Structure formats: C-alpha cells, structure tokens
Amino acid sequence: MRLAQHMAVASAQVRADCIEATEFPDLSRQYAVMAVPKIVINDRVQFEGALPERQFLDAVLRAVNGGGVSA
Amino acid sequence: MPILTDRDIEAVRKEFAKLANPVTLTVFSQELGSESCLHTERLVKEVAECSDKVSVNVLNLLLDRQQAEAYGVDRVPAIVVEGARDYGIRFFGLPSGYEFTNLIDAIIVASTGEPALSAETKDVLAGLGKPVHIRVFTTPT
C-alpha cells in the first residue's frame, strides 16, 4: 500500500484503496484474491506481492496504456 | 478499553513529529455498524489524539450519502485521508497489523505532500493523462 499511497499524493490522477480482504469477501471474490498483498490497477493489471518502485510504475503504465493482465 | 497501547501511542507520536500540515481523517461508519466499524472509529480517534494536526470527521454511509458519493465510498468501515487536498487515499476495513503502519504513513505523506518516490517516478506520474485506480488487497497480519 505504501507505494500506492505515495503515488496518489504525487498525482491527482491516482487513487489508492487499501482493502481488508477478509472484511469484503464480495470484492475478494470479484478480484480473485488468493494471496495478499494483491494489487489490481484499473481492473486491467494485477499482481501479487510487493514490487520494487520501477516495476510498480511499469504496472501502472500498462494499466493506463493497455497491455497484459499480470505484471 | 483503548485499542492503542502506551507503546503504540509513543511510537505514533514519534512518527507524527514529521507532520507538517493538517490532516483530516473522515471515517464512514453505520449506525448499526459492525464491530469493525466501531473499532475503526475508535482507532482513528485514538490516532488523532496523538497530534493536534490530525482531526477526525465521522460520517454515516447512509445518512451522508452525498459526501460518500463525492469521496467514492460505497462500503464501511472506510477512512478517507486528506491533506491539503483529497489525494485519493482510502482504507476499507479496519487497518490493523501492517495496515496500521500504512495508515500512519498515509497520514504523514498527506501532511507533507511529499511522496517518497524517485524523481523519475514523480515525472512519469505527473504526466499521467488518465485516471489510475489502484486497489491493494491485504489481510490483518
């Protein structure tokens, strides 16, 4: 969550939600959360586990510009 | 009974020495809310007591529907972390364990307005032309 919230402060375009998966099973099912942390960006790019800043940014750009479903 | 221990409070106060500008934590709850809503509300109030730069606003998801919509909040408990502007930082569910650390970090970065990111990352983010919605799923560990 740390990178996501810092990115939200860096850009007015970015929103960062931290979701407690066990409290919201509907969302966890919708986003097929099997392990945490799971990150989903614009419903397009998703990955599990922490990524270094550069790779996280690449995932954001893929979500914005189109591209694959996993980082 | 308080949620934060004396040790927690001491640690939070130490971190909050970094606060620069006021931060508002808006908690969305429900009148007949779950245990989690009550806990979240209490936790946020205890955190806010650690600094006079942090204030709390408690709203009701059903009664304060307009604000909920404006903040993009559709479930409870939810916490909106706002600094000089609404940076788009939301916590859904009780932020315990590691997420509590992230909540404290979110308050600090919303207060300073200075993200701890490389200059390159900041440049790229400044050029974003479309909205980016990042959802981070966690568990209370």
Which pLDDT band holds residue B75 (cuts at 50, 70, 90)? very high
Q: Identify whether A10 is part of a domain.
A: yes
Class assignment of domain B6-126?
Answer: alpha beta
Tell me which chain A residues have a C-beta less than 8 angstroms from the C-beta of B75.
24
Q: What is the pLDDT of residue B64?
A: 96
pLDDT digits (tens, 9 = 90+) for A12-42: 999 999 999 999 999 999 999 999 999 999 9
Question: Is residue A71 in some structural domain?
Answer: no
Domain boundaries along the sequence of chain B = 6-126
Instruction: Kindly state whether A35 is in contact with chain B, defined as any CB-CB distance less than 8 angstroms.
Output: no
Q: What is the pTM of this model?
A: 0.95
Confidence of residue A67 (pLDDT cuts 50, 70, 90): low
Checking if the pLDDT of A68 tops 60, the result is no
Q: Which chain A residues are closer than 8 Å to B95 by Cβ?
A: 18, 20
In a domain, A43, yes or no: yes
User: Into how many domains does chain A fold?
Assistant: 1
* Rounded Cα–Cα distance for residues B75 and B78 (Å): 7
Question: Are B133 and A17 inside 8 Å of each other by CB?
Answer: yes
Which candidate from B89, B117, B137 shows the least CB-CB separation from A19?
Answer: B137
Run of H or E including B13? helix B6-15
Tokens 């510009």: give the residue.
Answer: A65
Query: Is B134's CB within 8 Å of A7's CB?
Result: yes
Residue A25: exposure state from Cβ atoms within 10 A (0-12, 13-18, ≥19): exposed
- The reply to whether A70 falls in a domain is no
What's the gap in Å between the CA of B89 and the closest CA on chain A?
5
The complex's ipTM?
0.95
Chain B residues in contact with A22 by the CB 8 A cut-off are 93, 139-140
**Cβ within 8 Å, pair A10-B122:** yes
Q: What is the CATH number of the domain that holds A52?
A: 3.40.30.10
Which of B128, B136, B139, B141 should be substituted to probe chain A, the one whose Cβ sees the most A Cβ atoms within 10 Å? B136
Residue B4: how many CB atoms within 10 A of its CB? 17
- Residue of chain A whose Cα is closest to the Cα of B127: A11
Over residues B81-104, the pLDDT tens digits come to 999 999 999 999 999 988 999 999
Q: In terms of residue numbers, what domain contains A9?
A: 2-65
* Residue A57 token pair: 């940014």
